[in-house]
Amino acid sequence: MIKRSAALAVILLGLGSAAHALEFQPLGSGSLGVGGAGVARTYGAMAPYWNPAGLAFAPKTVTVSLTAGAGIQPKGKLAQDLDDLSTAHNAWDSDQNNLTKANVLADAINQLIATTSKDNLRLTVGAALGAQVKHLGFGVYGTFEGGAIPNQGGTPIPTPLALTLTQADVDAALNSKTVTIRGIALFEVPLSYGYAIDLGSAGKLGLGASAKYLYGEATSKTNQQVFDTVANSTVSSSNLTHDLSKNRKSSSSFGIDLGLLWKPFTSTALGLVAKNLNAPSFSTAAGEKIVVDRQVRAGVSLEPLSWLELTGDVDVLSNATMVPGLKTQHLGGGAEFHPFSCLKLRAGGYTDLAQTTSGAVTAGLSLGIPWLFFDLDGAYGLGSVKYNKTTYPTEAKVQFSANVAF
């Protein structure tokens, strides 16, 4: 039996190694507060999303979870440079004979032209209503991921200026500067099942599978102009986020998830999950195909004390994102303290192995009675960046859950 289980793990990894996927977003179960970890610690209503093998060890007969959250990840200077350009252009447009304002605008144009793929903007949103009845799981699990990245182009303006700019100078400088915008809202409706196998002295092994109906709304625009010469206006960072909701095309598909959860001891769990093994795809109105490729993630959970849980997850493979050319590979973990049945406290952090400058600290808490409790979790980036003329951390996420268990 152990040999068969090892073979299944190899199959999961082998299937996942052929391609990359969207990001594996932390969703519900207090996962965000412990560094986005949930593969080896989720046994209830959110197990169909995290790892269906967790259903094999469901401690409650019925659980229901309602969760919602959102996050923003402005990286580099794309958002800041777009907003600086918008501000500088408005000031110059009101007084085009002002040499100082012209130089400020020229500098803003040159800064935007110099942006690269490292300067991007990503948004994530998650919401779910999940249920677990004994070893079965089902519900609706929704995630949104979108982003924008600058394309090469534009003609820098030599500075400092000896004469004031003309509208023709501005048009010529920004005429070929564009950004690419992509996004997908994905809703999973799975039917999941977990089954536990007794391995004797080696503990227990949970096997899980999910068959999912998938509904997606995808959008993309590869050459969004940063300056509209007809309207004589610039695109701001908030315009990019609004554009992610436009020109959506809906379509349906299906997905298959497989999971393992080995508990050598009651207090220890090792998990592995492979999601979307069939790599479903969704088309945009622009004719582009967005593939939701395979994801593989491993996790561990330890309870060295009755009031303490230590947990961690890692993406076995790097995942593509909605920002073309940008990949992520998250490593995160933390600790949950539960000294009382009515209170749990969480702390942790995560980093991106594919981007050494990315990372965040996380925290969360649960309040309530055993059959009704609420989770509140958040993540805060370690750096700062400007978006929509306001300073934000390089990453910010918040998530709330309401849970019933009996």
Domain region containing 80? 2-405
Number of separate domains in the chain: 1
Of all residues in the chain, the percent with pLDDT exceeding 90 is: 64
pLDDT for the residue 110: 95
Q: Give the pLDDT band of residue 95 (cuts 50, 70, 90).
A: very high
pLDDT for the residue 117: 79
The CATH number linked to 242 is 2.40.160.40
pLDDT for the residue 357: 63
pLDDT for the residue 244: 79
Q: Which of 12-21, 270-279, 381-390 is predicted with the least confidence, judged by mean pLDDT?
A: 12-21
Give the closest residue to 76 by CA, choosing from 274, 237, 255: 237
The average confidence (pLDDT) of the chain is 89
Prediction pTM value:
0.88
What mean pLDDT comes out for the span 68-90? 88
